[in-house]
Each structure stands twice: as structure tokens, then as C-alpha cells.
Amino acid sequence: MTLDEDKAWVLWPEYFDIDRTRDAGRKVSKKLSISNPNVELIAKAVKQMGLEYKIETDKSYPGNWYNHTGRVLVEHSLPKTLLMLKVGQALIKIQRS
């Protein structure tokens, strides 16, 4: 499948930041979160899953608008909740290696 930017899922590093609360933007459990996630790590996890993606470094998470951490657009081939769980698992493996 190819990346359609208009229909792509958006993954922000804040979704996977163990130091954030759910209210502050973390979307996955602490077991699937890491310290200091960034778009490069998320892209690496998505690439390992064989999905198309695009990194946008000039974007900022709305709840953290003053910090331009960027975001990753991912092809719309899985439900977003499942995608976030799989990316979280991949990030844990990447961080351990």
C-alpha cells in the first residue's frame, strides 16, 4: 500500500513518551512507552513493520505547540490503536538493542 497523506495516521512522539501522563498526550501504556522518543525512532519502528511513512520535522504536537518535535505520517492499513501498540512494542525492542 502507498502513503496517502490525506488519509495517513499521525504518530506524535508524545504518544510514546513514558514521562508524559495520559492527560499530557501519552496514548500507550507505560509498558509500551520509552524515554525521549523521537520521529527517527518511530520511523525506524514503522519501517520494521513494512509500512510506508513520511517524517515531518517542522510540526508540533498541539498540546506541546512550542516544541517542534515533528510527527510521522503512516499508511492507513491498520486501526490506529493497533498501530500504536505495535509501534510501542517495536520501540521497546529498538531501545533494548
Banded pLDDT at 1 (limits 50, 70, 90): low
* Under 8 Å between Cβ of 25 and 61: yes
CATH class of 9-96: alpha beta
Q: How far is CA 58 from the centre of its chain?
A: 15
Q: What's the mean pLDDT in 8-12?
A: 97
Q: What's the mean pLDDT in 83-94?
A: 97
Banded pLDDT at 2 (limits 50, 70, 90): confident
The model carries a pTM of 0.93
User: What phi and psi values does residue 11 have, to the nearest 5 degrees?
Assistant: -115, 120
pLDDT (tens digit, 9 = 90+) per residue, 14-72?
A: 999 999 999 999 999 999 999 999 999 999 999 999 999 999 999 999 988 888 999 99
Please provide the DSSP assignment of 3-49 as one string. Answer: --TTT-EEE-GGGGBTTS-TTTT--S-GGG-BSS--HHHHHHHHHHT
* Under 8 Å between Cβ of 27 and 87: no
Give CA–CA dist 87/49, Å, rounded.
8
